[in-house]
Structure 1
């Protein structure tokens, strides 16, 4: 991948320059902001550095579309697609009459073709169960193998534990890291920022944490919101803060965030609520990174992920967010909205990021739990 770099003092002009050079459909990777001294005393100006991906010269489907001389290739390609679709429709029509309705979530027609030749007995049953719960096959085999011994008769791996849950706990403990409850001492300011895509429940779950800290741990808590974009976001957060009788602030830039934090010497914990941003919106993520840059160097950042995301999309979110923020843990939400919670294993195992909490519903403050190996095992087994 080739990347072009543009520098200047007007970000919009830089984007226009990139579009003029590379075309309208440019892909902005990120941008940086440098503060430079101006000729005038006490006045500073911002210099922007824009990074844009340069399209490669490889001939893909979109390039065929753009080249008139290759239109005959496109015609042949579309003909092949039409034939494949027609063939698939005919196949479905022939088999439709023989299909019986399947109860929701039963999974009776799930056919697993994964190679489990090195396993036998209960280990095979447990691996198949995990795969049906959307645990990736490689991850399922890794976890189960940790609780296996070698069967003498077959020379294959089988469970060395009596119960499935016991086997899962052993494997999960081996491969997944847990933060446990938030570690906070009175008199020492701790700052936690909640980041993540739109609609994952950052604000609601932030105040579940705040309620726990105020009511059960008797800590002095303050909330700062930088979500000034979503309609009603500030009002919702302020209402929660008023119920808990804790300080609430809204800031829009890094300077005000730094100033606000510097005036909190009597506070034990500060929770920062952020605006939901698409993981594909590098520009907005860069803005949010700049604002959070005014926070404490000891700030911990929790990435909030919904359990009803597909595994591939969830991993994409993690990878893109971690290029902007030092993620300290993953906070899972909406476990009550999925019956295939394989993401609880796949994401921390592949990303190697510890997991912290899980939201079990909408109620504040009841529906939240600290994640551990036992709870993940329960969710995977449907308990």
Structure 2
């Protein structure tokens, strides 16, 4: 990892300089502040040192093989592997005919089972589309039925809407609850915590929310982090907070959390960043529950879930987390990393938990959207 160092007397100017050199998506590792004496001994000014990671292209296996350092030992090893593969293929040919794997085709029809015999026409086509997007059969049936009427000729259900999108919106409106925009009352302290497994993007998306509240809603926001375990987590969060010019605190126990919150009489909302924990690690989840217990009784807790999770794993995460925390909403991330977003309807319908926001990329604060029925329908039909 290569690190660039910037020094000066204005931190915002240093950040802008780094962006000009390395691009807008820079990763700030940390910064240091020291008092520098001037000509007069009693007069000091702050000098900043900013550390930024320089993005580098990752080197793949084929790139390594193409280098001059590739020696004869590697050649012999690859030759041995090729012979083993050829031998295995020959043995398979003797036992069975190998059928080619068909390429992925978005338009390929999925066989409709007898489970959907009560549907006909456009309703069946819409069910097929939802199944291709990884919507579970039972959920697809529930959603489509909300937009159907009885076809007289076949005595089966068919869509009573002109467009698939309209039909999906109808079903989603009936079966999924949405939190809507954050409702923050100025002068009343609201506390919102973000929990979830490692790597789902809690910190980045917390600061997307913070940016929205500070820049567009002109609210007084503070951030508290209890993620003191991951290397660099506090430094990264502090750098984000410094850019937004909002208070930032790091706490390690419930007593300090309670004390910190009690000192924020002039803050409208406090966002709490938590450490990522496996949903199978009950001991660590218990520790985090004890720390968050230092918050007030009205704390709102949002569970952050990645859209590239398998449906079964996502359900397991929700069920295990909700045994420790009263989950108020689901915050979806990484929708840009999957072409099968069925989790957007499978999870809220099966868990009956409202959904709030969805992250569409890594940029702060641009890549954040409020979820609503129309937006969910757009993702499901590929718009």
Classify the TM-score, shorter chain: 0.7 to 0.9
Cα distance between partner residues in 2 of 1:225 and 1:202: 11
Q: Which residue in the other structure is 1:213 paired with?
A: 213
Q: Tell whether the 8 Å contact from 1:114 to 1:137 is kept in structure 2 after alignment.
A: no
**Structure 1 residue 173: Cα displacement:** 0.5
Which deviations, in whole Å up to 9, do the C-alpha atoms of 1:243-267 show, x marking residues without a partner?
0000000000000000000000000
1:99 equivalenced with 2:117 (yes/no):
no
**Structure 1 residue 99: Cα displacement:** 2.2
**Structure 1 residue 116: Cα displacement:** 1.4
Q: Which residue in the other structure is 1:121 paired with?
A: 121
Q: What secondary structure, in the 3-state scheme, does the structure 2 residue paired with 1:358 have?
A: strand
Which deviations, in whole Å up to 9, do the C-alpha atoms of 1:105-156 show, x marking residues without a partner?
6363744435211000000000011011000001001100000000000000
Cα distance between partner residues in 1 of 2:250 and 2:378: 39
Q: Tell whether the 8 Å contact from 2:126 to 2:144 is kept in structure 1 after alignment.
A: yes
Cα distance between partner residues in 2 of 1:100 and 1:183: 51
Q: Tell whether the 8 Å contact from 1:110 to 1:132 is kept in structure 2 after alignment.
A: yes
Q: What secondary structure, in the 3-state scheme, does the structure 2 residue paired with 1:298 have?
A: coil
Q: Which residue in the other structure is 1:252 paired with?
A: 252
Superposition map of 1:147-186 within 5 A: 147-186=147-186
Q: Which residue in the other structure is 2:232 paired with?
A: 232
Alignment TM-score, normalising by the size of structure 1: 0.74
Cα distance between partner residues in 2 of 1:352 and 1:106: 30
Cα distance between partner residues in 2 of 1:380 and 1:92: 44
Q: Which residue in the other structure is 2:33 paired with?
A: none
Cα distance between partner residues in 2 of 1:136 and 1:115: 12
Cα distance between partner residues in 1 of 2:231 and 2:173: 42
1:316 equivalenced with 2:316 (yes/no):
yes
Cα RMSD over matched residues? 1.8
The 1:363–1:335 alpha-carbon spacing in structure 2 relative to 1, beyond 3 Å, is same
**Structure 1 residue 374: Cα displacement:** 0.4
**Structure 1 residue 94: Cα displacement:** 3.5
Q: What secondary structure, in the 3-state scheme, does the structure 1 residue paired with 2:276 have?
A: coil
Q: Tell whether the 8 Å contact from 1:225 to 1:250 is kept in structure 2 after alignment.
A: yes
Q: Which residue in the other structure is 2:270 paired with?
A: 270
Q: What secondary structure, in the 3-state scheme, does the structure 2 residue paired with 1:167 have?
A: helix
Superposition map of 1:185-200 within 5 A: 185-200=185-200
Which deviations, in whole Å up to 9, do the C-alpha atoms of 1:219-265 show, x marking residues without a partner?
00000000000000000000000000000000000000000000000
Cα distance between partner residues in 1 of 2:114 and 2:93: 25
Q: Which residue in the other structure is 1:340 paired with?
A: 340
The 1:195–1:152 alpha-carbon spacing in structure 2 relative to 1, beyond 3 Å, is same
Q: Which residue in the other structure is 2:202 paired with?
A: 202
**Structure 1 residue 91: Cα displacement:** 9.7
Cα distance between partner residues in 2 of 1:304 and 1:159: 34
The 1:94–1:292 alpha-carbon spacing in structure 2 relative to 1, beyond 3 Å, is same
Q: What secondary structure, in the 3-state scheme, does the structure 2 residue paired with 1:379 have?
A: helix
Q: Tell whether the 8 Å contact from 1:257 to 1:291 is kept in structure 2 after alignment.
A: yes
Q: Tell whether the 8 Å contact from 1:102 to 1:108 is kept in structure 2 after alignment.
A: no
Gaps of 5+ in 1: 1-88
Q: Which residue in the other structure is 1:139 paired with?
A: 139
Cα distance between partner residues in 2 of 1:361 and 1:93: 48
Cα distance between partner residues in 2 of 1:91 and 1:295: 65
1:371 equivalenced with 2:371 (yes/no):
yes
The 1:154–1:376 alpha-carbon spacing in structure 2 relative to 1, beyond 3 Å, is same
